[in-house]
Structure 1
């Protein structure tokens, strides 16, 4: 019996499962940043709890990748796609971890008032989430140009990160409680900067998958 149609269906389902994981991770980032903007401890705790869903999905994708390799003996081109799918899933899981870390900052700041309105941090989050969507589209469409465009967006995130550092540092003084919160905000900005870096990792992988050449998008 010809099992190749079933194999290609399984390969497509694997990539769809990855997109589902990407959507969940994006929601986690949004939820974590919203919890911080509103100092909503319950939303933050919900974000932390939902991380188990992403970890479970990561395990299922990993298992599916290994099963396809073991049972279907994919050709080199498909093997690269399976390997890339697994690599992206790992990056997505790490992005989700950053969302959890942001939510934990909200929990630590429970009962406080924000020292300053959050402006640039939500902008960083919006850019990072847009990069995440673009990186996954570049993979599903095997679009090198879309993947390469992530470098410019990463520069925007880096500039906002520098702005946050300067603004927050300028506010630090002798108030220890305020300084503690401002330090937390720097940590949040750092987590979002790392989210953007993970999306450029995905873009670099796509470029290598399509062209066989390595390109550093995070310079």
Structure 2
């Protein structure tokens, strides 16, 4: 392949990975909005759109394989293709977690723990994702490290949210007096609690994937694996 064509394929790969990240970020926003608004139509749109993300992932995976197999890249080009391959995997998994949020939105019964601001947690992870992808786009080591540092704050916020749910559940006097385990209201409450804890867990995992993207990007830029391990 002529050198110009090869460089264009590398450039196209970067552009396509960035486009995939934009689509994934939009699906994540939609999942968060569906959860906040209890919007089943929006939630269904997120869930049904997962197939598009999967197809995008498979197409980009094949592009990476072709570049590796046919061009036998070395040094910086090899790290770029390998990093891009890993990044699209994290993006696909973020999209799966956004789909989970859509499912939780459909199953949600009510807001039982108003002190837990899932939207705030979600916006924080969106900022991390966008920061990681901007680092990839601009090849910025400083932004890679900033995303990794942000994860500590996210972990703390998610831990506090989960503790709030458990504490409020223990202290609740919603039903007063003795509680009958067969009461359907108890079952509904426990389902809502489980959904909320799963939501917090999945948001935290989205942050972990953003860190993975930053780690692979740093390796791509500086051949530095400090954030990978």
Q: TM-score, normalised by structure 1?
A: 0.92
Gaps of 5+ in 2: 173-178, 180-185
Bigger relative contact order (CA 8 A; separation at least 6): 2
Matches within 5 A, 1:31-180: 31-109=30-108, 112-117=109-114, 119-172=116-169, 173=172, 175-180=186-191
The alignment's C-alpha RMSD in Å is 1.7
* Alignment of structure 1 residues 23-34 onto 2, 5 Å: 23-34=22-33
The answer on whether the counterparts of 1:120 and 1:160 sit within 8 Å (CA) in structure 2 is no
1:65-120 deviation per Cα after TM superposition (whole angstroms, max 9, x unaligned): 111222223233211111110100000001111111111111222xx222233752
Q: Which one of the candidate residues 184, 188, 211 is aligned to 1:200?
A: 211
Number of residue pairs aligned between Structure 1 and Structure 2: 215
| Contact 2:101-2:199 within 8 A present in 1 as well | yes
Deviation at 1:156, TM superposition (A): 1.8
**2:4 equivalent in structure 1:** 5
Unaligned runs of at least 5 residues, structure 1:
none
Structure-2 separation of matches of 1:182 and 1:217: 33
TM-score normalised to the size of structure 2? 0.88
Distance 2:64 2:228 in 1: 26
